[in-house]
Amino acid sequence: MSDFESQFSGFDFSKTNNIKVHLGANAIEDESDFYLVLERYMHRADSIMIDYNCGYNLSALVDIQNVLLRYPNLSNKLLWVEEPTHPNFSKYWKDLLFFECAAGENHHGVESLFQLTNCNVKYIMPDLGRTLKVSELPSLIKRLEKSDSSISFHSFSSGFLSYITLYLTLSLDTKHQMFEYDFSDNALLDEILLDSFQIKDGYVTLNSSVLFDLNLPSTLDGWYTTSIELFEA
């Protein structure tokens, strides 16, 4: 719990005022202290998203809602609840939760992602390169244009896929969209974006050259691979 609170007390809110946290690893009543910390720090954030990582069953959704409503600062700034149950039960979320929902990292392909709009899922979160082909993105965007849902890219698969996602996010001309940036260390992404990536007030300023050149200047010129051995895992 002290580590969780220290992340908030030491976080640089000048980078972004929109925060996402992961809960749901324990029973709801066993995570009450986490909600207390969130309530205490909500005056510093513009919005918060809670990802439950499919941690609960349907019967727990009413309890989740009751807990959230117990903390007015938190519930007033809650942008979305993400995957409170296994995504197969997403069609029931709208009937059991008052809050907006998000999902998509476990939905594969355009049709599966688009069907989330029929479940009143407000934020569609494709994990580009893992659950959605890059070539399929224009089709998904076109279908979402006639819905009330927006894209918020999920980008925890790898540093390289996060880079590709950022590249496309900044080049898309769509309605409101969000990019999920993991502030924990990501060696490849940090190296790609070194001195090129600035975050202030929730907005990104990016040196345009990083969009066109995957450049790792610190890599030694002498690295060559003549052959590799493949094995099945």
**Which percentage of the chain shows pLDDT scores above 90?**
33
What is the per-residue DSSP string for 9-61? HT--TTT-SEEEEE--SS-GGGGHHHHHHHHHHGGG-SEEEEE-TT-S-GGGH
CA 46 from chain centre, in angstroms, equals: 16
What is the architecture of the domain spanning 2-211?
Answer: Alpha-Beta Barrel (3.20)
pLDDT of residue 233: 46
Q: Per-residue pLDDT tens for 205-216?
A: 666 665 555 555
Neighbours of 189 (CB within 10 A): 20
Delimit the domains of the chain by residue range: 2-211
Q: Per-residue pLDDT tens for 170-220?
A: 666 655 566 676 666 667 666 766 666 666 666 666 666 655 555 555 544
- Residue 113 CA to residue 90 CA, distance in Å, equals 11
| Mean pLDDT, residues 33-51 | 90
pLDDT of residue 18: 82
In the predicted model, what is the mean pLDDT of the chain? 80
